[in-house]
Amino acid sequence: MDLLGATCGAFDLNNGCHGFLSALDVGARFVATGEGPVLIVASELITRDLLNPEDRRTFPLFGDGAAAVVIGPPNGRGALLSSIHRQRGDLMQWIYTPSASDPHEPKNRAHFTTNGQLIRSLVEEMLPQDVDAALEEAGLTMAQMDWVAPHQPNAVWLERLIVRLNLPSARVPRVVHRTANVPSAMVPFGLHELLHRAEGPKSGDHVLMMAIGAGVAYGAAVLRVD
């Protein structure tokens, strides 16, 4: 805040790979009550602090990165039409980052289950439910989605998700092959990719976003472009 020269309210919101969508929801509520504009910064340095560099299963999958988004009142038709968030604490042991105060975890490193197939199955079971809920809340269908910006843990998972959800493949930005998984920054990275396409989102287009991460926290949201 000091480097920005700002004295407005600020707080840290930690929710793993689902963090950006959580912050977008909170920020949109601030804007709706007249407290905007709101700056959202998704910053990830996971490879420096939380991963075990000797774990060949996980360490190569992640990268460091950051993204920033400013949201405010729309000038036209723009709106966050729906925002669905869920938490499965009973599944926490499969993907979690221990607290800095946990005496049993002195290195505070993220933990991943060894059963990758189980995680994929859970993702493919849980995310579609939230996508359906977000579409229903927005009063829209998947066929009406012009663009989709999903979380991208890895390229294989992304392609499986596209097939599982019957997403419009040509309207899904692929960035993970360049950035690796940059947890909370992954969805805004996808949005950035879309905005810089020659024929990217235009006013009135609908964008579906979704993410799942540690906790286990997951959800989906539908945005109408201003």
Helices within 61-185 (DSSP H only): 116-138, 155-165, 176-179
Beta bridge partners of 129: none
- DSSP reduced 3-state for 104: coil
Q: Tell me which DSSP letter residue 62 carries.
A: B
Question: What are the catalytic residues?
Answer: 17, 151, 181
Nearest to 128 by CA among 153, 80, 162: 162
How far apart are alpha carbons 12 and 38 in whole angstroms? Answer: 13
**What tokens appear for 126 in the block?**
């849980």
Do residues 95 and 112 touch, judged by C-beta distance below 8 A? Answer: yes
- DSSP reduced 3-state for 65: strand
